[in-house]
């Protein structure tokens, strides 16, 4: 990170002499605001003022924790690296635009200067003043644009260099974030897949139970895919188990069978009733 650039940006946003906060926060996480105040030799309110301004631009984030002994909240601050870089990028882009405007106007416009007051004015203003200085009445001289043009060109080159660095850093951070996201997505997909598989198994088991219980009455053969005639004694045992299980999980066999498959509803309800009578289910 171009800490010096960030330092300047913070001062632009939060006022003179606030850039130092970057050095305290940079590369750290959840920095206690009282520690920041102590290091900057400022009051807690002054520090919070700076941080609120920066947080309005998303450059810092905070968490708060209640101090158990004192009972008040303490804020812990973190510099948001990506946001800082984006903000820097924007700021540098507009700086370049400004400089290019200067270059353009210096290329085509005349400026006039009063050498004794060291004041420069544009052509319109000079005309308005009758080509003599507003302050001292000295006659204006035509300004040499080559100096400001050279200066602006040097600045543009420097800002463009910085912009390139910032963009390079942003690329690195975004690439990392992207990898993290892909990894997280994969994890979510895996968990979801496992959940679906479990549901599938549970459904299959439920269908089997239904098919078996229908089979007992001898009417399930047409409905259930795996409808088989099984020895009555054995099946009855299983039916008992199923009844207990469905009672435990749903409380009422009626609702479940009723909502499943249309054709069997009426008979199943009757069967459910039978089971209840048999095993003493409540109404
Ligand atoms: Zn003058």
What is the whole-number distance in angstroms between the Cα of residue 110 and the centre of ligand 1? 18
| C-alpha to C-alpha distance for 176 and 197, rounded to whole angstroms | 32
- What is the chain's mean pLDDT, rounded? 84
pLDDT digits (tens, 9 = 90+) for 54-85: 999 999 999 999 999 989 999 999 999 999 99
Checking if the pLDDT of 149 tops 90, the result is yes
Per DSSP, 132 falls in state: B
Write out pLDDT tens, residues 205-231: 999 999 998 876 655 444 444 445 545
Higher pLDDT, residue 49 or 275: 49
Question: Could you tell me the CA-to-CA distances from 11 to 17, 99, 243 in Å, in that order?
Answer: 7, 20, 74
- Does 49 or 278 have the greater pLDDT score? 49
120 alpha carbon – ligand 1 mean position (Å): 9
Ligand 1 centroid to Cα of residue 153, in Å, is 28
Ligand 1 centre distance from Cα of residue 103 (Å) = 25
Tell the CATH topology of 3-79. Arc Repressor Mutant, subunit A (1.10.10)
Find the 121 Cα to ligand 1 centroid distance in Å: 11
Q: What is the mean pLDDT of residues 30-47?
A: 97
What is the reported pTM? 0.63
Which sequence spans correspond to the domains of the chain? 3-79, 84-183, 203-279
Integer CA distances (angstroms), 170 to 13, 56, 230, 237, in order:
21, 21, 70, 68
H or E element that contains 100: helix 81-108
Mean pLDDT across 94-120:
96
CA of 118 relative to ligand 1 center, distance in Å:
7
pLDDT band at 262 (very low <50, low <70, confident <90, very high): very low
CA–centroid distance, 151 to ligand 1, in Å, is 24
């Amino acid at each position: 990170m171009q800490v010096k650039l960030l330092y300047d940006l913070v001062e632009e946003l939060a006022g003179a002499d606030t850039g130092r906060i970057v050095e305290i926060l940079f590369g750290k996480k959840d920095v206690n605001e009282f520690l920041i105040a102590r290091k900057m030799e400022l009051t807690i309110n002054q520090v919070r003022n700076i941080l609120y301004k920066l947080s309005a631009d998303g450059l810092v984030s905070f968490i708060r924790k209640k101090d158990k002994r004192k009972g008040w909240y303490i804020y812990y601050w973190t510099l948001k690296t990506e946001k800082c870089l984006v903000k820097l990028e924007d700021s540098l882009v507009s700086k370049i635009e400004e400089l290019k405007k200067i270059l353009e106007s210096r290329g085509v416009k005349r400026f006039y200067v009063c050498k004794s007051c060291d004041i420069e004015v544009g052509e319109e203003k000079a005309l308005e003043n009758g080509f003599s200085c507003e302050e001292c009445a000295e006659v204006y001289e035509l300004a040499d644009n080559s100096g400001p043009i050279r200066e602006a060109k040097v600045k543009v080159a420097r800002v463009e260099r910085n912009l390139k660095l910032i963009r390079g850093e942003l690329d690195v951070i975004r690439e990392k974030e992207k990898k993290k996201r892909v990894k997280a997505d994969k994890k979510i997909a895996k968990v979801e897949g496992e959940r679906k598989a479990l549901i599938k198994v549970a459904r299959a088991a439920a269908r089997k139970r239904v098919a078996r219980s229908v089979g007992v009455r001898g009417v399930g053969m047409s409905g259930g895919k795996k409808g088989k005639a099984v020895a009555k004694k054995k099946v009855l045992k299983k039916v008992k188990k199923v009844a207990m299980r469905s009672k435990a999980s749903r409380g009422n066999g009626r609702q479940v069978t009723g909502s499943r498959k249309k054709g069997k509803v009426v008979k199943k309800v009757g069967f459910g009733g039978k089971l209840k009578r048999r095993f003493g289910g409540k109404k």
